[in-house]
Structure 1
């Protein structure tokens, strides 16, 4: 069930997944800080930046900004736009962002006059995303939001089908009329009166160039306020608007036979695509191999992540969290490594060499910081040479 502003329900799916991409193969190693990192994360609110209606010509620039700022976000995409720009869907996935389903064509009258049409569009978009990137997102955002568009039936049928519906608690206002200026969007995107986590509504569809202009300042605002950034995943409790006393639409009701045939059978199929791995993950570095059990790494769609603390210590290193500086200090293979949680910057100091720095792909959840296997290898002055991710074997080889 899900959190709604008027009629509370809680939707709780025990899938703690994320998308971070690596060097051409989409496999990752998460890391967790030691000791007081968990406390630090509990006190630090999270902002989930979300973008609707893409991908469009604006999406590449949005992705460039997010990469520069080391921020992961969520894209609720339209099926017809995904069909037109499959390379952007691939880039979104490969750069570690989450994808949600925003129906196929965004046509309110079609979508809200008959739940069967809403369902058809969700499944059509799901098939498109599966063909492009091998993903079937369980996260949905209703075009225009759920208020006055959804009734209890829509909420209930989607819940029964295994989906999670996400509204928002901060609206940037970038779609309330044409050509909303960047200055107004920046003001609307600020969570000035909200305590705790924030889901921000923005758009990367056509005609939203001003949103792109506003984005760097919006990110800076939340960084200055001490927020951590993360993509939405199925473990994040949805915010849903309450059911309005009057719905805008006259609609036909699906039959029990139709619901049984389409909705009831869907949850098991959707869940089966998002199972946690049951095999250990082996990371091979020369003669050294570390093995992480299935409760020490997580799978989201086609990517895998492990806890840093386990990986570093099994390679003979140590991790220490500094609450004053909010940095992880890592000793690994004779190197001193500093990972800055706020910016994602990693600095590696090796004997008789100039320090080197790089930006890591980080993702934070439940007091744990995740980092890609590409970045873990880079810390060790290694690269990914090969990988095997099958139903019987999970293995990454470094060189």
Structure 2
């Protein structure tokens, strides 16, 4: 069974401390980056790439399903891909042939964005558990860690891999200190 971490909506103010926690635990993650946040934080994204993390595309603006015409969504995805490739270039790390993509809010049933993915020949990266760390106020670090442990235990009983979706930023630039501490607690338990 594999346990993987992924983080959406960054880079944000909590991303550097989260990178410190991941580095201390020798843990690699996937970061699904918002183009609007990435444009001013290419140095942070380059650090992610240098430290072995995967950079993924979370669109430019985090628009809700159906909020953007297909052509605008395609432009957002392509512009964010270009920023991600620039971050890899700055890191001196080759960009992968296929950049992972996670649509904001996930891929819904009868989601019109599925057609965009088909046009772009892109797969969607989902998750096995999305945590409430994006809520205001966020759950406590211990509550988040407990939810992670419960999901791992349930998945292990079913022999299923785990892919957590957490948040290191937001489209509003919010910090996520509870997420950073929850990940630290969780990784310390996994040692």
Determine if the TM-score, normalized by the shorter chain, exceeds 0.5: yes
Tell me the equivalent position of 2:181: 213
Q: SS of the counterpart of 2:56?
A: strand
Measure the CA separation in 1 of the matches of 2:8 and 2:76.
16
- Relative distance call for 1:160 and 1:49 in structure 2 (3 A) is same
Gapped runs of 5+ residues in structure 2?
Answer: 90-94
Tell me the equivalent position of 2:25: 69
**How large is the RMSD of aligned CA atoms in angstroms?**
2.0
- Relative distance call for 1:154 and 1:58 in structure 2 (3 A) is same
Q: SS of the counterpart of 1:185?
A: helix
Q: How does 1:283-362 map to 2 (within 5 A)?
A: none
Shift, 1:172, TM fit? 2.2
Q: SS of the counterpart of 1:139?
A: coil
Tell me the equivalent position of 2:92: none
Q: TM-score, normalised by structure 1?
A: 0.41
Would you say 1:127 and 2:82 are equivalent positions? Answer: yes
Shift, 1:113, TM fit? 4.0
Q: TM-score, normalised by structure 2?
A: 0.82
Tell me the equivalent position of 1:154: 113
Gapped runs of 5+ residues in structure 1?
Answer: 1-44, 225-399
Measure the CA separation in 2 of the matches of 1:175 and 1:154.
23
Measure the CA separation in 2 of the matches of 1:95 and 1:46.
20
Would you say 1:59 and 2:27 are equivalent positions? Answer: no
Shift, 1:138, TM fit? 2.7
Tell me the equivalent position of 2:39: 83
- 1:172–1:186 CA contact under 8 A, matched in 2: no
Q: How does 1:231-242 map to 2 (within 5 A)?
A: none
Q: SS of the counterpart of 1:200?
A: strand
Would you say 1:98 and 2:54 are equivalent positions? Answer: yes
Larger Rg: 1
Would you say 1:188 and 2:154 are equivalent positions? Answer: no
The structure with the greater share of residues assigned to strand is 1
